[in-house]
Structures are given as structure tokens and as C-alpha cells.
Amino acid sequence: MMIFIFGLVALLLGFLFYGKLAEKIIKPFKKTTPAYALEDGVDYVPMPTWKNHMIELLNIAGTGPIFGALMGAKWGPVAYLWVIFGCILGGAVHDYFSGMISVRNNGVSITKLAPKYLGARSRYLVLAFLLGVLILATAMMAKSACDLLVFLTDIPMGVWLVVISAYFLVSALLPIDKLIGKVYPVFGVLLIVMAIVIIAGLVTGGYEFPTMTFENLHPQGEPIFPDMCITIACGAVSGFHATQSTLMARCIKDEKDGHVVFYGAMIVEGFIALIWVTAGLTFYPDTLSLSNALAASGASGVVYDISTTLAGPVGGVLAIIGVIVCPITTGDTAVRSLRLIVQDDRGWNSKNMKNSVAITLVAIGIVVLLCLLDFQSLWYYMSWFNQTLACITLWTCTVFIMKIAKKKVYSLITGIPAIFMTMVVSSFILHWDKGLRLDYNVSLIIGAVFTVILTIIYLRAFLLIRPAEDDVTSDL
């Protein structure tokens, strides 16, 4: 119980102090945000801070901090450390600066920002990873919702895919304040309430909370590094969030709102992930039992079992709503982001309904095909693409900070997480059994060499780039 309480306190302090440090770096604040300067009634729409925060939370979360946390709990209590420190020092920083760099550049997506700060050659690489993450994330979310709906109703998955796809189409095309702006805050609250109900059930049910250990408790002996850092993305570090922060960058009224909307939403997601790591380690007698349950009924089934046991019928209802609605509402903003990214890249206006419908339909068609794969495969492919995108975003933000901050040393706030995540993704794809399947130690060595090369490039840029004397505004 102590490690859980420590985690909650650490996340709160991270928001209050480390989040404020991030905010200090981005100053001075511009007076007019893109929500007002480019208001179009579709994507650029000023909305209240609290609403933007709840929409951002549901955009980035869905079932990510639930499913990922449960699968990450297979490594044991060491998963706590990745959620706590990964969230404060990596994920929340990633989300804050990916949102604020977009605000400073007229609300455009990372596919336009990376070439500006990393060079024009990065354009197609970034675009490929962005589209890959969004397509895989949407498929994963739709698949998880369909699996539970089929389990509950016996209605074939094809029927549910048609229903969910129709919702994706409508939600991705309507003005952001008409559907998303109205229902997302409600479901964001539901996600938080669901997590609180779970932890309350564990406490009142007399379950024995895990004690902290650094021992690798994974039943199959998979290494903690980098595998756990790939498995637990939402709740720690997630590149997918960079595609969602740019949505809200078009809606915040004041740059000062970024601390609550971007950094704050990630901290809340870390709180949710912390609860579900605890649930996985506490509800089951050991990590082998957790692993077997995940293999037998999937993450959706495990969430349902935990919720109904701990909170009875009420918990069951919350679980059903949460596991069905939350991934769907994350999937639809993923489709919306994909539409905007393609339109940004091609220079198309969001009001051109013909282009918007065509992009959305193609994306949904690919998603439906991917839903035929099993959830585990989708999760790991998504996770690697996701964390690689986080690397690209963190490096982009690092160069951005070096250009706009009066002290280049501030770039370390994103530079250090970028270096760490570079090591994670490069070494993982080398040894992963669905990657290059190299020896684990060889993979670490090659990953380290690649990471050192990028670090040297960063240090060279650190010496060459002149810090700004005043705020740098957009030229996009």
C-alpha cells in the first residue's frame, strides 16, 4: 500500500512543481491562441479549460492506462516505478510540449512540426509513424470494444464493427464542440470514477497490497527493460498523445491553460494506470495467475472480472460502459486526428467535406481489416510504433526548446526522455520475437550505439543553435 500512496503523492507533486517548470520554459505566453486567431467552427473552436482537460484525458486514455497497466503488472511491482517516473518526467512533459509547440505553430500536427525542427527529410518518416499509430490505435480500440460486445450479446463482430465505424465517421466530421465537446467530459469523469471504485473495492475487500520489489516477476521471464517500457505506454509515455494534444491546441483559450490541459491530463492518466497496476497485482495471487487470466479472457475480460467482483453489479455496469465506450471515444478522435494530419500535410481545408469524408472512409476501411487480427498482436505492434513516435516528438520538442528558450539547458527536460526512449525502442525492435529476433545482449549494445549517435547529434545542436532573446512565433 505504501508504494501506491507514494505514487499518488509523487504524481501530485509532479504536477505542482515539475509541470510548473515546464510551463516556465515555454514563457512568455502569446496573447492570442489559434482557437481565436483561426476559429473556423469545426476544429478551431475556443472551449473552457475544464472541458478541454476532460476531452484531452479521454482522448489520450480510453482503455490504454487500464489494459497496458494490467499487462505491465506481469513484471511485478517494478511496474509502479515506470508509471510514476515515466509519467512525471517523460509522458507529461511529452504531452505538454507537444501541445504547446502546436499552439505556437497555429495548431498544426506533428507531421508539419517535425520537418520544421528536425529537417525536411523527416517529413515522410514522421507521417508514416503518425498514420501507423493512429490506424493501429483505432483498430485496437475498436477490437477491444467489439470483443466485449460479442461476449455480452452474442451478436457477430461484423455487426458491431458497422455500428462503431458509423460512429467514427460522424464523430470525425462533426464540429469538435457538437459531439465530442458534449459527451467526452462525461465519459472522462466515468473513467476516473471507475478507477476510484476499483481501488476502494480493493481496500474494503481486505486484499493484500503488493510490497515493493525490483525482482522481475514476469512468468515467461521477459526482460523488464525495454519490454515493460513498451507494454505500459498510456500512463507512462505514449507517442499517440502527440496526435491528441494538437486537437486541443486548436481549442485552448489561453496558453496558461496548457499546464492543466496537457500536463494535467497525463498526470490523471498516470493515476488511473497506477490503480490498475495495483488491481492486477492485488486481485490475483501472483503474476502467473494474472498472466493466465489475460491469456484466457483477454484484457477486457480481466477488467470485467475485477470490476464485478470488487463492486458487484455497479462495478459490472461501470466496467461494461468503460471498456466499451472509452475505447470507442478514443478511437474516434484518433480517426479525427488522422483526417487533420492528412489535411495538414496536403494543405487542405477542414471545411472541404469531400476530402474529409474520403480520408475518413479510407481510414475506417483499413481499421476494419486490422480488427480481424488478435488483440495481443495489435497491442505490441501499436506499442512499438507508439513509443517510436514518442521519440520523434520528444526530439522535435527538444529542438523547439533550444530555439525558443533563453537557456538551452532547459532542452534537457525533453532531451533526457528522448535519449531514454530512443534506447527503449531501438533495443526492443532488435530482440523482439516479431522484430529482428537478435540476441538480447546484442540488441542492447546496438541500441546503445544508436542512442549515443543521436545524443552526439543533440549535443552538437546544443552547441550550434543560438537561444532566442524573445519569444519565437510561428512561421507556418
Query: 2-372: what CATH class?
Result: mainly alpha
The C-alpha atoms of residue 229 and residue 436 are separated, in whole angstroms, by: 18
**pLDDT for position 113:** 92
Give residue for cell 485496437.
140
Cell numbers describing residue 141: 480500440
Give the percent of the chain with pLDDT over 90. Answer: 54
Chain segment 198-238, per-residue pLDDT in tens: 898 999 888 999 999 999 999 999 999 999 999 999 899 99
Cα four-point dihedral sign 354, 358, 359, 364 = positive
Range of weakest confidence among 295-304, 321-330, 352-361? 321-330
pLDDT for residue 473: 44
Tell me what the mean pLDDT of segment 4-26 comes to. 95
How sure is the predictor about 297, in pLDDT bands with cuts at 50, 70 and 90?
confident
**What is the torsion angle, in degrees rounded to the nearest 10, for the CA atoms of residue 304, residue 68, residue 236 and residue 103?**
-80
Distances from the Cα of 3 to the Cα of 6, 210, 274, 414, 476, angstroms: 5, 8, 10, 26, 46
The C-alpha cell that represents 395 in the structure block: 526530439
Backbone CA torsion sign across 84, 90, 92, 93? positive
Nearest-angstrom CA–CA distance, 282 and 278: 6
DSSP states of 3-63 as a string?
HHHHHHHHHHHIIIIIHHHHHHHHPSPPSS-HHHHT--SSS-----HHHHHHHHHHHH-TT
- The answer on pLDDT for 65 being more than 70 is yes
pLDDT at 98: 96
- Region of 90 (left: φ > 0; alpha: ψ -120 to 50; beta: rest) is alpha
pLDDT of residue 9: 97
- Percent residues over pLDDT 70 in the chain: 96
SS3 state at 232 = coil
Q: Which three cell numbers stand for residue 332?
A: 474516434
What are the boundaries of each domain within the chain?
Answer: 2-372
Over range 167-186, report the average pLDDT. 85
Instruction: Output the CA torsion sign for 334, 335, 338, 339.
Output: negative
Average pLDDT, the chain: 89
pLDDT of residue 474: 41
Q: Which stretches within 174-239 are classed as H helix?
A: 180-204, 229-231
Q: Is the pLDDT of residue 145 over 50?
A: yes
pLDDT band at 308 (very low <50, low <70, confident <90, very high): confident
DSSP, collapsed to helix, strand or coil, labels residue 466 as coil
pTM for this predicted structure: 0.91
Predicted local distance difference test score (pLDDT) of residue 377? 66
How many Å apart are CA 463 and CA 53, to the nearest integer? 37
Overall average pLDDT of the 369-379 stretch? 75
Which bin fits 263, alpha (ψ -120 to 50), beta or left (φ > 0)? Answer: alpha
For 413-457, what is each residue's pLDDT tens digit?
999 999 999 999 999 999 998 889 999 999 999 999 999 999 999
- Specify the higher pLDDT residue, 210 or 11: 11
Q: When comparing pLDDT for 301 and 472, which is higher?
A: 301
Residue 388 CB: number of other CB atoms within 10 A? 23
Q: What is the CA radius of gyration of the chain?
A: 21
The one-character DSSP state at 258 is H
